[in-house]
Amino acid sequence: MFVIKVGGSEGINYNSFLQDLAKYEDYIVVHGGSSELNAISEKLGKPPVFVTSVSGFSSRYTDRETMEIFNMIYAGKMNKMLVENLQKLGINAVGLSGIDGRLIEGKKKRALKIVENGKKKILRGDLSGMIEKINTNLLKLLLTNSYVPVLTPPAISYESEAINVDGDRCAGQIAVSMKADTLIILSNVPGLLKDANDESSLVKTIKADQIDYHIENYAKGRMKKKLLGAKEAIEGGVKSVILGDARSESPVSNAFNGQGTIIQ
Ligand code: ADP
């Protein structure tokens, strides 16, 4: 089986992605919704706030109001759009967020340690956390009855609060827990680029022990989290992680045919 994560950035061709995906069997879909969330948050007069952690990773500051909008976009608009379109293709998809059936469970962060204008700061009121448990029973229940799970953050904390978790790392954890052979992470770039502004600078392969080097030297912004998700997946026993391009006509087949960045 394989886990496929499709991002939420601009330029992703969801119709081609789903049509291509429909050719395969035995998979779990994980998705994002970042650009849509940013756009709707602006329209609602609550522009997104991004913070950078002391370790250099950026994340969305998610207060209660942001979480409500997050649910509207991720678990609502994006999830149901994907489920509806899979249903049109004859695939019996079931959309769930991490809250449903405690599907994705984790520890809520106490406070965010961030860097702002070069200064370290503690930020409170953030609803985000780290994934620790996947409800594999629920996923197996769906898969053995031929349903295709379509999953999205948020996750649920041990205190039963919705928490924002990173979609790529979430896909990685799901792949590990379900003992998937392959994790495909599709985004709006050809894969990891040595120069984020030059699409011809694609890194074709990364060995497991070289992931940290690539995080430090090439990945910027949110690409860092994709590599972190890939690292966690490989360390957890997933055989290969492919970072592929969701803008292409056949993004899933292309990834399986060796296009993109292959991490092993
Ligand atoms: P998604 O929402 O599809 O999951 P993200 O927007 O989170 O995707 O991450 C993909 C983005 O990472 C790209 O659009 C690109 O701007 C950025 N990025 C930063 N560094 C790199 C890099 N070295 N190679 C490729 N993309 C990079």
Candidates 189, 197, 204: which one to mutate for ligand 1, based on the most atoms within 8 Å of Cβ? Answer: 189
Is residue 188 lining ligand 1, measured as CB closer than 6 Å? yes
Is residue 220 lining ligand 1, measured as CB closer than 6 Å? yes
Tens of pLDDT, residue by residue, the chain (264 residues): 999 999 988 889 999 999 999 999 999 999 999 999 999 999 999 999 999 989 888 889 999 999 999 999 999 999 999 999 999 999 999 999 999 999 999 999 998 899 999 999 999 999 999 999 999 999 999 999 999 999 999 999 999 999 999 999 999 999 999 999 999 999 999 999 999 999 999 999 999 999 999 999 999 988 999 999 999 999 999 999 999 999 999 999 999 999 999 999
Is residue 260 lining ligand 1, measured as CB closer than 6 Å? no
Q: What is the pLDDT of residue 60?
A: 92
* pTM, rounded to two decimals: 0.96
Q: What residue's CA is closest to ligand 1, atom 16? A: 196
Give the position, in ligand 1's atom list, of the atom nearest the Cα of 9.
Answer: 2
Ligand 1 geometric centre to CA of 157 (Å): 27
Q: What is the pLDDT of residue 58?
A: 83
Q: What is the pLDDT of residue 140?
A: 98
Q: Report the candidate in 100, 232, 109 with the shortest Cα–Cα distance to residue 173.
A: 232
Is residue 152 lining ligand 1, measured as CB closer than 6 Å? no
Is residue 78 lining ligand 1, measured as CB closer than 6 Å? no
Place of tokens 């106490």: 110
Q: What is the pLDDT of residue 170?
A: 97
Q: What is the pLDDT of residue 227?
A: 97
Q: Which residues of 115-151 are buried (b: 16+ CB within 10 A; e: fewer)?
A: eeeeeeeebeebbbbebebbbeeebeebbeeeebbbb
Ligand 1 geometric centre to CA of 65 (Å): 26
Sheet of 182-187: strand order equals: 93-97, 148-152, 27-31, 2-6, 182-187, 240-245, 261-263, 205-206
> For the purposes of burial, counting CB atoms within 10 Å of the CB of 225, is it exposed (0-12), middle (13-18) or buried (19 or more)?
buried
Give the position, in ligand 1's atom list, of the atom nearest the Cα of 195.
Answer: 23
